Homo-oligomer: A and B are copies of this chain.
């Protein structure tokens, strides 16, 4: 049943862009584009920035964003520093999400190296519970077999703004998810090259991004078993392009089915550990969920928290756009994606009457395991009025999306059914 991404010869795409520096890039793009892209922050903001720029005091964060190609057009920007942005569901209709539509989730600034596409002195260090420490250059990495897979990447907090009561954290709606084609090397090939000791149980993954406030760098890890899985990649390209600055240049982890924070960007160290990785972002309430269901608003003791790993079954309605206005008798194409972490999508059911009646959508299988499935159906309404299109995915274990969102303190792993309101006029 399990399909693996096909291996293919790897062409080094890094040379062509690595010499474009940040300053060159800014010069090329120019201030007009910068201002245009800043429109999303509002007019007041723009005026302030213009004043700064006129005095030669371009704020570093804005320069970084522009250099990193952010924000993307039509992006819903949650924060600038660190930069976090997503897209409305109808903008995620593609089978493979274009880079221009891939959400961006950062914990701190984007490293200079990524913005400059600068590979000088870059090494990926493998250390800890290994027989031989490695410090691999990009050339070294590209000598490993290359694997290409489509993989869903979703922030653990996607859907957080649907939690009641409200929880803290970036208020992701439904767009912090995408499915890209990733090419890279198997993490296990690299780990095996270093020689994993019997004492190894976990990885601790590190990237080049550094918090501005001097706090502990963002680092998470995965169990050795998942690290050694044939589908877990150190990705070097995304949709056939060298990794964009915002997505982890020059290398990031792809841990299929798992929450996005497991997929370390700007990867420069894999610390093989003899215990569960105990960084700040693996501890306390960070990326951890209660061991048992809790009442909305309750916070269980920290010893009852468990590390969040794989996503649960979920679906997205990408067509029609929310608040579509259509007419009676006109067929409406309904389409979307569905995915299920470590499991497979079994079916997607659609309702337009608040869950009274359901029809099964046509399911289009994923390109490979861990890609999302697509589904589509057609709806025709006989009467005018307000309707909601509901999609509910089921996986091969029989699990389905819940009708209301079970709660946890940080709003992780939200997978309540997606509801798209539409209006039918007579």
Listed in ascending order, the chain A residues whose CB lies under 8 Å from chain B are 290, 292-296, 298, 353-357, 383-387, 398-400, 402-406, 419, 421, 423
Contact of A385 among B292, B383, B384 (CB under 8 A): B292
Chain B residue at minimal CB-CB distance from A352: B293
Min distance, Cβ A359 to any Cβ of chain B, angstroms: 14
A406: nearest chain-B partner, CB-CB: B354
The one of B357, B383, B405 that contacts A292, using a Cβ cutoff of 8 Å: B383
Closest beta carbon of chain B to A179's beta carbon, Å: 24
Question: Which residues in B have their C-beta under 8 angstroms from that of A294?
Answer: 385-386
> Which B residues are in CB contact (< 8 Å) with A402?
353-356
Q: In the complex, what residues of B have CB within 8 A of residue A384's CB?
A: 292
A403 / chain B contacts, CB cutoff of 8 Å: 354-355, 403-404
A295→B353 contact, CB < 8 A? no
How often does this chain occur in the complex, in copies? 2
Within 8 Å CB of A386, what residues of B?
292-296, 298
Can you offer 5 A-B residue contacts whose CB atoms are under 8 A?
A293-B385, A295-B421, A354-B406, A404-B404, A404-B419
A271 to B421 Cα, complex, angstroms? 44
6 extra interface residue pairs, beta carbon distance < 8 Å, beyond A293-B387, A353-B402? A292-B386, A293-B386, A295-B423, A354-B404, A356-B402, A404-B419
A388's closest neighbor in chain B, by CB?
B404
Q: How far is the CB of A396 from chain B (nearest CB, A)?
A: 14
Q: How far is the CA of A354 from the CA of B383 in the complex (A)?
A: 31
Question: How far is B59's CA from A301's CA once the two chains are assembled, in angstroms?
Answer: 53
CA A421 to CA B423, docked complex, whole Å:
34
| Complex: chain B residue closest to A426, CB-CB | B292
Cα-based distance from A293 to B386 in the complex (angstroms): 5
